[in-house]
């Protein structure tokens, strides 16, 4: 039987690959973190590690050379075991997914659907024919054929002796549009001794092909597995075949007898297996990696279930042999492996009876062992017997989602030699680690702000933040901050040393201030020229920060992560003079995702993006987060990612860099910035109605250019669409929801033109209600501007100046008109008069004649239409204080208002501002 070792953490979550070295002394693993690790065995607690790039997909060894596919879309050669760069062997336009070395041949397959075969001393051969990413390949041991599996679900056979001609293709394999989405890799594998057979995984079967006719000879399957096979491999001598499933199961087959061998089941931690590798020494060990970056081994054990079965048979035979014999006092005992009679052992501590041995062994083999009858002497007698029941494997601790480390928005990973420290709307800060120190280059998008800078990196800075006023640099291993004031005169550079050995965790700069988060969970705020102004405590470990003018957005871990997601909170600071306001905000991060970017829009709204490209914006007025763009849905391939730069509310665009097959942009050549349109994830976006709704909602929740005009245009289009669709109640509901008198007039005019008199009458009845709601809304906006700020994002000028609100001032009482005059005004307002001036005048008159008190409502009981027109909630009227904002007295503008600074008089179509 083959048993499993405990799993070891090898790499971060993602596709993980491994190989054995040619001498079988080491296991080499690589993964999505860009590291390769050299393990002496599964028990190695300190494996040697080397970083080769952002990610490494596959490895191959040839004598003293180690080949690796890195994020540079190349096959790089390294010396082994020193891991020094030894040149580039192949170049592709996308990451290399699979690689194989056999004799003098080297073959590699890429996500760009191409395969390149290189032979010593000859030109490479390009094999083109796959319509999807090349997921796996193998070379015939004699170098005559190559087998490859593509994402389109096709296995192809290529004749290398005939310049790579395609000679066979087999369809029906699982399909995948990208390498990241692939679950089954097929992994074709030639029989290593003479290459007479080719195996590949398909569903719950391992198919075996005859390489002479390329016909399927037979298939091998294991009844004990529940998942589908993801990969399969021959042992080095071709006697065994191993296949792994997407549920972490492993099957072993004897290739000569086609029978499956007994293997221990997976633990609860094991996920889909991505790679298998047999030991190059013998067939007693098999290593594997799963999709969560864990490493494990499968090994042949001595105390197996077969041994236990043999022990039972031997015990039964012994029982039969001695069944007819009689022992004195019934004290025939079994001591170890020999039978004897021990008269001196009175307590029977070191002996086991045959019947007890038989019952214990049978209970273990049947999986019905009762722990209550377990004794140590039986365990010692039958060896190290393991039950197939998972209850005996021990309690498995639940695996938590990995907590994210602090990062700088707009920066690329720190292990890269040439990387971006900051990329935003102001400029780009690039770090080059050439030699011992390296240098930092700063390039501004607008040359009028500042000229480019080249700064020697003597202090080993590895984080930076750039604004139009200051360049801040720091190191996570140092407590010194160095800043260059861009707009200053004289000595522009200043630095500060953090006290008590504090180190910098995050850094952000804006046009007015600089903020630093330290490992002591302090937020230190400086002015652009270095004046210390605040020291604030952060409730948890900081994750990242962003700044905009006088605002700072700090994200931190409010609690430990759960099984599928992190818990991230944010503090939004607003400064004005020496005053500071803070607002606590929860980040709605989706499950199983990480925070990728944090910043501000051009209007000062906090924005963040997660690892799957979903961009969300915080609206200050509603205090809610809105998903405004899903970059993954705008990408042509799932393997592509967008590196977010900025978001503009005014122009409704998201600036991002397209990264093909990677997560971060390369420094050379510098990629182009693309502009992606914003779009809410509404239902049925292919319909005209949803497109108009998306445009209207974005205009209402963002500070876009001509927002009110866009709302009215899209609203009237939605109104017309509802009318054409015979949805009059939806059209009425739309006008009632928006509550705009100008839009109501247009809707009435449009409904009358279409001949929908019933709808026109219903809309006419909404005039008092909409006019009242519009006045109340304008009153609230006016009071917010004149009173204390409701949120920290509103400027604190009113608070500093000590201005008082005029909401408690009573306005002149509205003038009540009789029902006859009001009915006449109403009929005049909605008559189809060809003279536009009379139409506008009547509209204004009817607007002034709207009742605003409970007494005026009692005069409108004559007809249903008049009662609908004058219906105003008594509670709403009482809750609103009479002010010049809701006064309907037409003569209010002629009176002298002494204690009110500003008032809005609804005397015409335009708002007239009358100042004191």
Q: How many CB atoms lie within 10 A of CB 340?
A: 11
- Report the C-alpha gap between 894 and 82 in whole angstroms: 91
Neighbours of 347 (CB within 10 A): 6
Strands (E), 519-630: 522-527, 532-537, 542-548, 551-559, 567-576, 579-586, 595-600, 606-610, 614-619, 624-630
As given in the structure block, the two tokens for residue 678 are 């914003």
- Judged against a pLDDT cut of 50, whether residue 887 lies above it is answered with no
Let me know: does 230 contact 246? Beta carbons within 8 Å. Answer: yes
Please tell me the pTM assigned to this model: 0.51
d(C-alpha 543, C-alpha 505), whole Å: 8
pLDDT digit string (tens) for 434-482?
A: 765 689 999 999 888 788 999 998 888 999 999 999 999 999 888 899 9
Query: Nearest-CA neighbor of 573 among 795, 794, 793, 796?
Result: 793
| Mode of pairing for the β-strands spanning 624-630 and 641-648 | unpaired
**Eight-class DSSP state of 390:** G
Residue predicted with more confidence, 343 or 191: 191
Average per-residue pLDDT for the chain: 78
Which tokens is 640 given?
Answer: 């592509």
Residue 797 has pLDDT above 80, yes or no: no
- Please state, in angstroms and rounded to a whole number, the distance separating the CA atoms of residues 750 and 743: 10
Mean pLDDT, residues 273-295: 91
Q: Are 777 and 739 in contact (CB under 8 A)?
A: yes
Q: Which residue has the higher pLDDT, 774 or 540?
A: 540
Edge-first strand listing for the sheet containing 105-110: 96-102, 105-110, 114-119, 125-128
Give the E-state strand segments of 93-210 in sequence order. 96-102, 105-110, 114-119, 125-128, 134-139, 145-150, 154-159, 165-171, 189-190, 197-202, 205-210
Identify the pLDDT of residue 816: 45
Rounded-to-integer distance, Cα 11 and Cα 291, Å = 10
Give 374-425 pLDDT, tens digit per residue. Answer: 444 444 444 443 333 343 344 455 678 888 999 999 999 888 888 999 999 9
Residue 629 three-state SS: strand
The pLDDT assigned to 181 comes to 83
- The string of pLDDT tens digits covering residues 166-184 is 999 999 899 888 888 888 9
How many contiguous H segments (helices) and E segments (strands) does the chain have?
15, 56
């Amino acid at each position: 039987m083959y048993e499993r070792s405990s799993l070891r953490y090898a790499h971060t979550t993602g596709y993980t690959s491994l190989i054995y070295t040619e001498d079988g002394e080491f296991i080499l693993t690589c993964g999505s973190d860009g590291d390769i690790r050299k393990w002496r065995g599964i028990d190695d607690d300190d494996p040697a590690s080397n970083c080769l790039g952002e990610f490494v997909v596959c490895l191959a060894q040839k004598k003293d050379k180690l080949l690796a596919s890195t994020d540079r879309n190349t096959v790089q050669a390294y010396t082994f075991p020193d891991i020094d760069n030894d040149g580039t062997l192949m170049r592709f336009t996308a990451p290399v997914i699979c690689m194989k070395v056999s004799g003098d041949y080297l073959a590699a397959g890429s996500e760009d659907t191409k395969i390149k075969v290189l032979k010593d001393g000859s030109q490479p051969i390009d094999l083109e024919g796959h319509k999807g990413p090349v997921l796996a390949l193998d070379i015939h041991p004699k170098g005559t054929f190559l087998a490859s599996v593509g994402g389109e679900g096709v296995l192809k056979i290529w004749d290398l002796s005939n310049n790579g001609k395609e000679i066979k293709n087999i369809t029906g394999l699982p399909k995948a549009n990208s390498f990241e989405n692939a679950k089954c890799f097929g992994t074709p594998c030639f029989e290593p001794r003479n290459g007479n057979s080719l195996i590949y995984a398909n569903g719950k079967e391992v198919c075996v092909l005859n390489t002479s006719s390329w016909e399927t000879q037979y298939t091998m399957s294991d009844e004990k597995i529940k998942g589908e096979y993801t990969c399969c491999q021959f042992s080095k001598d071709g006697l065994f075949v191993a296949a792994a499933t997407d549920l972490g199961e492993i099957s072993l087959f004897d290739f000569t007898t086609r029978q499956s061998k007994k293997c221990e089941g997976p633990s609860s931690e094991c996920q889909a297996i991505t790679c298998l590798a047999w030991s190059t020494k013998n067939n007693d060990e098999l290593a594997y990696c799963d999709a969560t970056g864990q490493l494990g081994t499968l090994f042949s054990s001595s105390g197996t279930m077969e041994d236990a079965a043999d022990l039972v048979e031997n015990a039964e035979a012994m029982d039969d042999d001695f069944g007819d014999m009689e022992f004195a006092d019934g004290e025939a005992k079994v001591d170890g492996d020999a039978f004897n009679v021990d008269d001196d052992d009175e307590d029977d501590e070191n002996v086991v009876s045959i019947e007890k041995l038989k019952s214990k062994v049978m209970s273990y083999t049947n999986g019905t062992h009762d722990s209550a009858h377990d004794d140590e002497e039986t365990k010692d007698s039958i060896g190290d017997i393991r039950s197939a029941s998972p209850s005996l494997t021990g309690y498995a601790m639940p695996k938590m989602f990995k907590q994210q480390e602090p990062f700088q928005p707009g920066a690329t990973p720190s292990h890269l030699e040439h990387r971006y420290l900051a990329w935003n709307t102001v400029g780009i800060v690039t770090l080059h680690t050439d030699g011992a120190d390296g240098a930092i280059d700063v390039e501004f998008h607008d040359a009028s702000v500042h000229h480019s800078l080249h700064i020697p990196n003597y202090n080993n800075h590895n984080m930076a933040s750039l604004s139009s006023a200051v360049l801040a640099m720091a190191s996570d291993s140092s407590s010194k901050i160095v800043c260059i004031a861009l707009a200053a005169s004289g000595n522009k550079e200043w630095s500060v040393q953090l006290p008590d050995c504090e180190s910098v965790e995050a850094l952000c700069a804006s046009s007015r201030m600089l903020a630093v988060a330290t490992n002591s969970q302090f937020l230190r705020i400086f002015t652009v020229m270095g004046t210390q102004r605040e020291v604030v405590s952060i409730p948890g470990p900081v994750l990242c920060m962003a700044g905009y003018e006088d605002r700072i957005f700090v994200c931190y871990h409010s609690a430990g992560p759960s099984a599928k997601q992190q818990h991230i909170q944010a503090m939004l600071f607003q400064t004005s003079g020496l005053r500071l306001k803070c607002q606590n905000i929860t980040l709605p991060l989706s499950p199983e995702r990480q925070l990728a970017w944090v910043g501000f829009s051009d209007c000062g709204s906090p924005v963040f993006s997660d690892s799957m490209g979903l961009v969300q914006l915080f609206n200050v007025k509603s205090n809610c987060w809105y998903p405004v763009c899903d970059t993954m849905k705008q990408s042509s391939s799932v393997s592509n990612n967008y590196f977010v730069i900025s978001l503009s509310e005014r122009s409704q665009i998201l600036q991002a860099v397209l990264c093909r097959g990677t997560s971060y942009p390369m420094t050379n050549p510098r990629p182009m910035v693309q502009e992606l349109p914003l779009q809410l994830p509404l239902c049925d976006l292919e319909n005209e109605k949803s497109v108009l709704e998306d445009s209207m909602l974005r205009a209402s929740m963002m500070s876009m250019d001509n927002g009110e005009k866009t709302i009215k245009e899209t609203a009237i289009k939605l109104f017309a669409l509802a009318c054409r669709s015979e949805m009059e109640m939806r059209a009425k509901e739309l006008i009632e929801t928006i509550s705009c008198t100008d839009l109501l007039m247009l809707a009435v005019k449009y409904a009358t033109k279409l001949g929908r008199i019933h709808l026109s009458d219903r809309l006419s009845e909404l005039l008092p209600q909409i006019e009242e709601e519009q006045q109340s809304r304008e009153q609230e906006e006016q009071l917010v501007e004149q009173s204390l700020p409701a949120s920290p994002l509103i400027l604190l000028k009113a608070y500093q100046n000590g201005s008082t609100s005029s909401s408690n001032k009573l306005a002149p009482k509205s003038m009540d008109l009789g029902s006859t005059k009001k009915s006449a005004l109403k009929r005049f307002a909605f008559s189809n008069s060809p003279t536009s001036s009379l139409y506008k005048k009547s509209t204004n008159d009817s607007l002034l004649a709207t009742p605003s008190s409970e007494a005026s409502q009692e005069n409108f009981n004559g007809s249903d239409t008049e009662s609908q027109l004058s219906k105003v909630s008594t509670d709403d009227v009482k809750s609103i204080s009479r002010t010049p904002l809701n006064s309907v007295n037409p003569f209010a503008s002629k009176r002298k208002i002494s204690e009110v600074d500003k008032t809005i008089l609804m005397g015409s179509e335009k708002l007239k501002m009358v100042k004191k």
